[in-house]
Homo-oligomer: A and B are copies of this chain.
Amino acid sequence: MNVRVAVNGYGVIGKRVADAVRDMPDMDLVGVADIATDWHVRTAAGLGIPVFAATEEARAAMGDAGVPVAGSLADLLSQVDVVVDTTPKKVAATNLELYRDAGVKAVLQGGESHATTGHSFVAQANYATAVGRDATRVVSCNTTGTVRVLGALQDAGLLARARGVLIRRATDPVESHQGGIMNTVVPEGSIPSHQGPDARTVRPELDVVTMAAKASHTQTHSHFWTLQLTRPASRGELLEALRAAPRIAFVRMADGVTALNTTVELMRDLGRPRGDMWEVAVWEDVLTVEGDEAYLTYQVDNEAIATPETIDAIRALAGTVTDGATSIAMTDEILGMRREFLPAPASAPMD
């Protein structure tokens, strides 16, 4: 029997999760809940997704706005096994009580603190520990990317210490007519920024410190890492370690993929829904190793990277798939995730 899923919060994350759930053969999207009445939820209705009102006020407002309402949040919860909460930061913590009372398992997002659920999730790192739990938190886009890449190097016994600078997009495209930054860089006021410690909620043994800043663009983050290796290593060893881990793809300056916007365009050309890139895109030919130090840069699609993690988290909580690698493989095949975005050239470049 399929896992019955609700999505509470039909925004940047919620709509992607809703679409991915609909794509999965072992899941049913029962509906989405929201409080808005504007084009977002009306689009959901247009796609045939039942829309539930997250509050009584929202129910009235949706009615006034002509949005067909399938019921209340309580109605929705009564019909599902797992709810994915993608409400704005800090709202989910309050909702969690509601979900527990309804006997519904809950996947929260990275905006919440680890303490809220006591478990933070990145599929390739700790799927097993989430199996059968009542709730988990899929970590933020930046932390997900960090755990995937640093985790791969640590699993290969190569990583001693990681010091990173995270250049974040300022706001999402859908919000970019308000609340953005212009012609500036805004550094975070304290070091370490929260992403480093946050990675340790999933992989406590990581020695990682991050600085962060917002730059004047709306699409995707980029991370710049200085890595202390456990020993002198070759570029080939690092690349092999990255290739051994899931959900990491390579891009190359030599192919003309030279900036964040190029990768974004490439995703559009590949026919990805909403142009989403679920993989971490590591610049293969920028990776540099000097003795026991390595320098690495990659791109994180903040809107999309947590989508496959959320799908896996649903399965883990539901307990329908107990093996992480199996769930990851299912998710990745159905979404169409890739290790290389371009067909291989006739002769592969040497490492």
Interface string of A212-241 (1 = CB under 8 A from B): 010111110010101000000000000000
Q: Which of A173, A184, A275 has the most CB of B within 10 A?
A: A184
Assess whether B266 is in contact with A39, with CB atoms less than 8 Å apart. Answer: yes
Q: Is A285 an interface residue (CB 8 A)?
A: yes
Q: Is A40 an interface residue (CB 8 A)?
A: yes
Known pairs A224-B165, A295-B191, A295-B211; A183 contacts B183 (CB<8 A): yes
Taking the closest CB of chain B, its distance from the CB of A341, in whole angstroms, is 8
Q: Is A336 an interface residue (CB 8 A)?
A: no
Question: For residues 168 through 201 of chain A, which have their beta carbon under 8 Å from a beta carbon of chain B?
Answer: 170-171, 173-174, 176-187, 189-192
Taking the closest CB of chain B, its distance from the CB of A229, in whole angstroms, is 13
Point out the residues of chain B lying under 8 angstroms from A39, CB to CB. 255-257, 262, 266, 341-342
Q: Is A67 an interface residue (CB 8 A)?
A: yes
Known pairs A216-B217, A219-B184, A274-B269; A45 contacts B343 (CB<8 A): yes
Tally of this chain's copies: 4
Assess whether A224 is in contact with B211, with CB atoms less than 8 Å apart. Answer: yes
Contact of A182 among B182, B189, B222, B268 (CB under 8 A): B182
CB nearest neighbor in B for A177: B259
Taking the closest CB of chain B, its distance from the CB of A16, in whole angstroms, is 10
Q: Is A15 an interface residue (CB 8 A)?
A: yes
CA distance A20 to B92 in the complex (A): 43
Known pairs A43-B342, A66-B345, A268-B274; A213 contacts B224 (CB<8 A): yes
Known pairs A176-B181, A181-B177, A345-B67; A187 contacts B222 (CB<8 A): yes
Q: Is A329 an interface residue (CB 8 A)?
A: no
Taking the closest CB of chain B, its distance from the CB of A46, in whole angstroms, is 5
CA distance A247 to B191 in the complex (A): 24
CA distance A258 to B213 in the complex (A): 11
Known pairs A183-B182, A211-B295, A216-B216; A285 contacts B189 (CB<8 A): yes
Interface string of A271-301 (1 = CB under 8 A from B): 1011100000001011010100101010000
Point out the residues of chain B lying under 8 angstroms from A213, CB to CB. 167, 222, 224, 297
Assess whether A186 is in contact with B42, with CB atoms less than 8 Å apart. Answer: no
Q: Is A335 an interface residue (CB 8 A)?
A: no
By the criterion of a CB under 8 Å from any partner CB, how many residues of chain A are at the interface? 81
Q: Is A344 an interface residue (CB 8 A)?
A: yes
Point out the residues of chain B lying under 8 angstroms from A215, CB to CB. 167, 185, 215-217
Assess whether A259 is in contact with B181, with CB atoms less than 8 Å apart. Answer: yes
CA distance A286 to B266 in the complex (A): 35
CA distance A260 to B216 in the complex (A): 11
Q: Is A270 an interface residue (CB 8 A)?
A: yes
Q: Is A133 an interface residue (CB 8 A)?
A: no
Assess whether B177 is in contact with A43, with CB atoms less than 8 Å apart. Answer: no
Give me 29 A-to-B residue pairs in the complex whose CB atoms sit less than 8 angstroms apart, sorted by A's number: A39-B255, A39-B257, A40-B256, A42-B343, A43-B270, A43-B341, A46-B342, A63-B346, A66-B347, A67-B345, A167-B167, A173-B183, A173-B264, A174-B265, A181-B259, A182-B182, A182-B261, A185-B259, A187-B259, A187-B286, A189-B253, A189-B285, A189-B286, A190-B288, A213-B224, A213-B297, A215-B216, A268-B275, A275-B275
4 extra interface residue pairs, beta carbon distance < 8 Å, beyond A46-B343, A192-B295? A165-B224, A187-B258, A213-B297, A274-B275
